[in-house]
Amino acid sequence: MRAGRDLAAEDKMIETLNGATRVHFIVGDPIAQVKSPAGVTQAFGQRQQNAVVVPAHVAPADLANWLRGVSLAKNVDGIIVTVPHKFACCDLCGSTSDRARFLKTVNTMRRNADGSWHGDIFDGLGFVAAMRDNGCEPLGKRALLVGAGGAGSAIAHALVMAGVSGLAIHDEDAARRTSLVDRLATLGRAPVTHGSPDPAGFDIVLNATPVGMRQADPYPLEVARLSADMFVGCVITVPAITPLIAAARQLGCATMTGADMFGRVRDLMVDFLLGA
């Protein structure tokens, strides 16, 4: 039944695509792998909105000029931000949520009344919600997070706010990792430490890097050190089942995929873009 409703909503969106359609972009480099154009457009249709999401492949050096250009169009209401632009777009916002300001990163931007952009970040909230959907309550658990980029920063913040007993963060970029660890430590809610690719001893093991998108990629962490009592999650949506998730399932681990996260993040982004 849901597939039928989704197709009906998508057909309705196509029928109403016209000069009054409100435009939202998703910007990244690369961009071909993202699912947001169809998924968020479909969500707009389900809410009876005449709106569409359009992908934009923009290099980092061109980002500021691109944003200035699209900002001139009066029918552009929102921008979804993906790698590698989440930190840079935060700096380009006229205002942000407290969460985005703390993390210095955004994944969604909507227009302010003066035409500037207001940014927020929903990767962490959506990821933790998807964890709970898949039977993992982070409260009181020890977590290892690999990746301190835009999505990783948001997930780390959400885990700390959700009450993990401890969080270790690993990232090959030592400066980025240290910056995130130090900022999260100021919250005083849980010990936040520098981690490694070794997941032994953790209850929750999460990949927030793009490692696993390409067939030749190595594992983002030491899968031989996983055990069946661990919960393993990944942010990658393509492929649907990454080598990390496949290996974890073979060991008997409970898991969640990037698609699980995307569904939750999508709903939060649409609420935000529509002014909720």
Give the catalytic positions in this structure: 86
Read off φ and ψ for residue 252, nearest 5 degrees: 95, 10
All residues at 6 or more sequence positions from 22 whose CB lies less than 8 Å from its CB, including other chains: 49, 50, 51, 52, 75, 77
DSSP secondary structure, 139-194, as one string: TT-EEEEE--SHHHHHHHHHHHHTT-SEEEEE-S-HHHHHHHHHHHHTT-SS-EEE
* Identity of the amino acid at 274: L
Rg, C-alpha atoms of the chain: 19
Q: Give the three-class secondary structure for 60.
A: helix
Q: Which residue from 192, 190, 189 is spatially nearest to 180, judged by alpha carbons?
A: 192
In the sheet with 166-170, reading across from the earlier edge strand, the strands are: 192-194, 166-170, 142-146, 204-207, 231-234, 254-256
Within the chain, residue ranges assigned H as helices are 2-16, 36-46, 63-70, 86-92, 98-103, 123-133, 150-161, 174-185, 243-251, 258-273
* Identity of the amino acid at 65: N
The HSE-up count of residue 142 (CA atoms within 13 Å, CB side) is 10
Measured CA to CA, the distance from residue 233 to residue 151 in angstroms comes to 13
All residues at 6 or more sequence positions from 176 whose CB lies less than 8 Å from its CB, including other chains: 148, 149
